[in-house]
Structure 1
């Protein structure tokens, strides 16, 4: 990543015309930029013909006020500079757009609700790396598809009309929003017309993930037996093999709607439902009766039926692990963090929203019922599994991902299992967020955006 980082200074249009840029003489020599000749200036989808004038003993770039306004740039913006000789294009960037579900114009201090602090953190990280980030919702996409009403942070949150970005990080939290025609059209159009990159471009279904990873012999060891649940025969078949099975909504998240089915005796079954207030239990005299209560739910919800696992526990509470896998500055998968999540009391799912607690892998293993002989390399085995699974998703699912939340578990024999993969991992689930602190996961996002955009 050798593209130089420069500060862009905005000067009055009376002093500098819109088609002239003033650039430090040493930078012109370093990048072999022809001066006093027509070049194409590029910033995201923005294109403009300019000539470059060298300035001795100066390190930055000066542009006119009118040009800055058209580009959405304010004075003092740090950006990377890239000159492409073959197309005579001087590119500034990278311009990163983060697509979020909603904004609140009536709350100027907290326009993105719970993720506002993450958006500030990303803005600070971009400034330090010479990237420009803005945040936008599906409603902010312009009819031309080459401009967007985005939010930027500079001494407070402001809305500006900005060019379509070089890189889009899709952080939409609803399939309904993601599937809106304007969103799909925008993502397709900017890739086609401007060579933009969109990552985490779609949600993952649980059945899609397990079906894809089954194709790889090397990944099968991580996969609990899983099938789409269509009928009683499948439920009976799985329950004859395992004393506990889990029914998981194919499109669920945050542990919502998970049902645990356990055999209590020869003709005695219990269904445990994960609810916000705790676990609700119901017993049945036969598996047929249990299935008939599920049949109503199955009309509206598709379920994956999965082998129950004997997870390690701390004080009777199951523990699982969230690994954050990200593509790095070289475009390769790496594991940024792994945290242990212990289920809250009265719960069998570990989500923080349901009273779960976070700890390090080492702490969780030390406090758990995992036998001593399996403790030493637990962290390494979890990392290796997460990395293998991230590469498998890339290979077998035709979409661009650069960040995955991979939920893993250890059973009491020390074996690593995959629970699910989330393509929109929460930003509060790896390390706690502190004002002014830039987490490695946020830095990695920008490094990858620079890698794919060439900056």
Structure 2
């Protein structure tokens, strides 16, 4: 971070800031406020500043924060913002509820951005989107053995996790051989004894909570499994919208498409998959949009005031859309290879929604 210019917290700067309707970016600490620089180029009517939970002065309703103006960092005190975007990974619902008692209901968004895979599954299993989910269960040894007897393969995923960390693939062959793989197709453990498999898993999983999930046989392009990251964001009208679509090509040696080595636009890949069926390709893209918007709306109703999600879907070998995962703090930078206009839309939409919250009264 560049050198910070420190302003007198009791000087003229406070008079200046009182006239403005600020948008606040909640960050883990002021030392980790670099995300502000990415959004600063997109601010318009309401200027931005970054602050941390430790920089809030509740009695005076003031905040010590950072602004990024003309390529310089300034540290000063600010009034409470009119809207807050949570950029911390985790659960900030209690903190932001306290803010909303002063700045108004529904003025803080993405207060929760670390989702439990099992909780997401339970919510969506009680919705019109149930048929798009892979069958899933809470992990225990008995259920895994029964699951493998039925499906022959299973994914084991931690309730909390990202970037493919801690995901295992287990397979039972027709000859009764169990194989355990970690990130790559090559097995790390092979046995004919189910007790030995379970003992190995117990060592690796420990006390972490896991779920058992049906394996989805993904479509492939050039022998690479593919999935789609769809960005769903609330826009300047307060409505959910599809703002980005990315196809991720897994490494040929890996079953995890989120460990991708190549990306492309969704329309390009659908044209490759269905070269003589443009109507089918268009119908699949429209259905992906419908599913992702519906999932976002369902989770918003449950958790309250989410404004951006990264939803991972794929197409299976039967041309059916399958939902893989929902990400509460999706990276925008994975879209950089699709060009600056795509990135601009993602960052601008976040600010546009924050502006919407500043300008509009939202019912509790």
**1:253 is the counterpart of 2:162:** yes
Report the CA distance shift for 1:92/1:103 in structure 2 as closer, same or farther (over 3 A). Answer: closer
Gaps of 5+ in 1: 1-64, 75-90, 105-110
Distance 1:169 1:447 in 2: 12
**1:222 is the counterpart of 2:132:** yes
**1:98 is the counterpart of 2:36:** no
Structure with higher Rg: it is 1
Number of equivalences = 348
Report the CA distance shift for 1:311/1:388 in structure 2 as closer, same or farther (over 3 A). Answer: same
Report the CA distance shift for 1:165/1:214 in structure 2 as closer, same or farther (over 3 A). Answer: same
Matches within 5 A, 1:333-348: 333-348=240-255
CA contact (8 A) 2:264 2:338 kept: no
CA contact (8 A) 1:135 1:150 kept: yes
Matches within 5 A, 1:273-422: 273-274=182-183, 281-351=188-258, 354-368=259-273, 374-395=280-301, 397-422=302-327
Q: Secondary structure at the match of 1:377?
A: helix
Gaps of 5+ in 2: 1-8
Distance 1:147 1:434 in 2: 39
**Alpha carbon RMSD of aligned pairs, Å?**
2.9
Higher strand share: 1
**1:140 is the counterpart of 2:62:** no
Report the CA distance shift for 1:167/1:280 in structure 2 as closer, same or farther (over 3 A). Answer: farther
TM-score (norm 2): 0.85
Distance 1:137 1:344 in 2: 38
Partner deviation per Cα, 1:289-334 (whole Å, 9 max, x = no partner): 2122112344321111111111011222211111111112222211
Report the CA distance shift for 1:258/1:389 in structure 2 as closer, same or farther (over 3 A). Answer: same
Q: CA deviation at 1:438?
A: 6.4
Report the CA distance shift for 1:306/1:344 in structure 2 as closer, same or farther (over 3 A). Answer: same
Is the deviation greater in 249-258 or in 188-197? 188-197
Higher helix share: 2
Q: CA deviation at 1:260?
A: 1.0
**1:120 is the counterpart of 2:25:** no
CA contact (8 A) 2:265 2:338 kept: no
Question: Larger RCO: Structure 1 or Structure 2 (Cα < 8 Å, ≥ 6 residues apart)?
Answer: 2
Partner deviation per Cα, 1:24-68 (whole Å, 9 max, x = no partner): xxxxxxxxxxxxxxxxxxxxxxxxxxxxxxxxxxxxxxxxx9885
TM-score (norm 1): 0.69
CA contact (8 A) 2:233 2:308 kept: yes
Q: CA deviation at 1:92?
A: 4.1
Q: 1:69 aligns with which of 13, 18, 21?
A: 13
Matches within 5 A, 1:120-199: 120-126=37-43, 129-142=44-57, 144=59, 146-155=61-70, 156-173=72-89, 175=90, 178=91, 186-195=95-104, 197-199=107-109
Distance 1:399 1:145 in 2: 28
Report the CA distance shift for 1:134/1:438 in structure 2 as closer, same or farther (over 3 A). Answer: farther
Distance 1:270 1:325 in 2: 37
Q: Secondary structure at the match of 1:254?
A: coil
Q: Secondary structure at the match of 1:157?
A: strand
